[in-house]
Amino acid sequence: MPTCTSSTGSTELRSLAILGSTGSIGTSTLDVVQAHGSRLTVVALAAGRNRELLRAQCEAFRPRCVSVGSKEDADWLRATLSYRPELHWGAEGLLACALHADVDTVVAAIVGSLGLISTEAALRAGRRVCVANKESLVVGGALMHEAALAGGGELLPVDSEHAALHQLLDGRDPASIREVRITASGGPFRDWPLARIQAATIQEALNHPTWKMGPKITIDSATLMNKGLEVIEASVLFGLSADQVAVTVHPQSQVHAMVGFHDGSYQLQVCANDMKLPIQYCLLYPEKQPGPVAPYPWDEARAWTFEAPDLDRFPCLGLAFQALREGGTAPALLNAANEVAVAAFLQGRIGFWDIQACNQETLSRIPARPLGSLPEVLDADRTARRHAEGWVQTRA
Ligand SMILES: NC(=O)c1ccc[n+]([C@@H]2O[C@H](COP(=O)([O-])OP(=O)(O)OC[C@H]3O[C@@H](n4cnc5c(N)ncnc54)[C@H](OP(=O)(O)O)[C@@H]3O)[C@@H](O)[C@H]2O)c1
């Protein structure tokens, strides 16, 4: 079972590009940088539309390279910043930040398959890439490892379950491992009957019980598509088959992942549910520095529960296993359909239950092809988006 990094570790200053600095992961990353100022420095920041927050981050961290979604916002930043960084915009800007000569570590924290090209390019250019953007791994699959191998890049997972697995699997003999299990909180509809889930509103779906995250991943958590994407992500990162990755619902979100061995025993990773912890793990790997959360309060009384996911009420999870088994571009097709469907749901154009219907329809109608080159994967992504958008229009 290949692991997703080969770092030997060091104590040097790490110079970061944070792609998606204004989002939930991006702002938590900046908190970690602030706490480890002697080890981490910000060279580049990239965001989309939140120019006010990006400006404030620039004034606080003084990155030399900055990118924003549009030329108009880049001009606005040029006019309002108190210093003169390199300013870029759009997709080119993401690449300029990721590939800046002074950057050695890229935090990939933009949302959606939009992150694919910058993640691949950073790995190919030999950077350490701390990937929160699971969609790029789901879509790019083995191409991400190929890029890392070709350019000497290093892939570390920020997703809490995968950072947990990375810690559990580090140095393990792959032959001793029977399965890995990632946990799911179950989302806001864990206890709801099917009919109520089918009619869920945007507000209800955005009301996640344990994690405060961006809107796309929050909806994915309500459909359990997020867990499905994470199953594919685990398979890609650790070279596991669909039969070796399982999901356990654990509403308390304190156990993040488990590794099961052939002798029937399991090892679990436990910590508070704060994304700063896996972010710090990736940035400073292989060191374990103090913070950012208090040691686990074992002496406080608490109960943990574990249950199997219900694929009838959460069919998106089953679709992810189906796409993983099918292989090739199937995960990219599913991911693209889901991005279109979630955006349409958040715009009020389709209902909650339509998300799984759109995903199912697209996956069944568009044939998967072998995973070829990056342009071929991007082509599959575009084809699935067109199909899903057409489907949404018939429903809206
Ligand atoms: N949040 C979590 O706890 C968590 C946990 C595990 C994994 N993840 C993964 O991490 C990724 C980010 O999630 P999030 O919750 O942080 O999302 P988020 O809060 O919605 O943030 C998304 C970030 O991407 C930027 N962005 C969006 N479109 C862009 C574009 N066209 N060009 C440049 N930047 C763009 C946004 O910029 P603006 O806001 O300026 O438009 C924002 O900085 C997702 O793939 C998610 O699945 C998140």
State the pLDDT at residue 203. 96
State the pLDDT at residue 11. 66
Give 307's DSSP letter.
B
State if residue 93 touches ligand 1 by the CB under 6 angstroms criterion.
no
Probe target for ligand 1 pocket from 217, 237, 338, with the most ligand atoms within 8 Å of CB: 217
State the pLDDT at residue 27. 98
Residue 26 CA to ligand 1 centre (angstroms): 7
State the pLDDT at residue 229. 98
State the pLDDT at residue 144. 95
Higher pLDDT, 172 or 383: 383
State the pLDDT at residue 396. 75
| Residue range 327-389, CATH number | 1.10.1740.10
Note the helical H segments in the chain: 24-35, 51-61, 71-80, 90-98, 116-124, 134-140, 142-151, 160-169, 194-198, 202-205, 215-223, 225-238, 276-284, 315-326, 330-346, 352-365, 374-395
Task: Name residue 226's amino acid.
Answer: N
Confidence band for 143, pLDDT divided at 50, 70 and 90: very high
Instruction: Summarize the confidence of residues 132-136 as an average pLDDT.
Output: 95
Burial group, residue 340, by CB count within 10 angstroms (0-12, 13-18, 19+): buried
Probe target for ligand 1 pocket from 213, 237, 273, with the most ligand atoms within 8 Å of CB: 213
Q: Which CATH architecture has domain 14-158?
A: 3-Layer(aba) Sandwich (3.40)
Contact 360, 388 (CB under 8 A): no
State the pLDDT at residue 155. 97
Over residues 335-387, the pLDDT tens digits come to 999 999 999 999 999 999 999 999 999 999 999 999 999 999 999 999 999 99
State the pLDDT at residue 3. 40
State the pLDDT at residue 292. 85
Over residues 212-263, the pLDDT tens digits come to 899 999 999 999 999 999 999 999 999 999 999 999 999 999 999 999 999 9
State the pLDDT at residue 10. 55
Task: Look at ligand 1, atom 6, and give the residue with the nearest C-alpha.
Answer: 159
Residues with Cβ within 8 Å of 333's Cβ and at least 6 positions away in sequence, in order, are: 323, 362, 363, 366, 368, 380, 381, 383, 384
State the pLDDT at residue 324. 98
Residue 36 CA to ligand 1 centre (angstroms): 23
Over residues 179-221, the pLDDT tens digits come to 999 999 999 999 999 999 999 999 999 998 887 899 999 999 9
Burial group, residue 319, by CB count within 10 angstroms (0-12, 13-18, 19+): buried
State if residue 228 touches ligand 1 by the CB under 6 angstroms criterion.
no
Higher pLDDT, 7 or 125: 125
Instruction: Summarize the confidence of residues 45-62 as an average pLDDT.
Output: 98
pLDDT surpasses 60 at 9:
no
Task: Name residue 12's amino acid.
Answer: E
State the pLDDT at residue 81. 98
State the pLDDT at residue 291. 85
Over residues 96-133, the pLDDT tens digits come to 999 999 999 999 999 999 999 999 999 999 999 999 99
State if residue 358 touches ligand 1 by the CB under 6 angstroms criterion.
no
State if residue 134 touches ligand 1 by the CB under 6 angstroms criterion.
yes
Burial group, residue 233, by CB count within 10 angstroms (0-12, 13-18, 19+): buried
Rounded Cα gap, residues 17 and 28, in angstroms: 14
Over residues 301-328, the pLDDT tens digits come to 899 999 999 999 999 999 999 999 999 9
State the pLDDT at residue 174. 86
| Total-model pTM | 0.95
pLDDT surpasses 60 at 5:
no
- In 3-state terms, what secondary structure has residue 355? helix
Domain ranges of the chain: 14-158, 172-275+290-316, 327-389
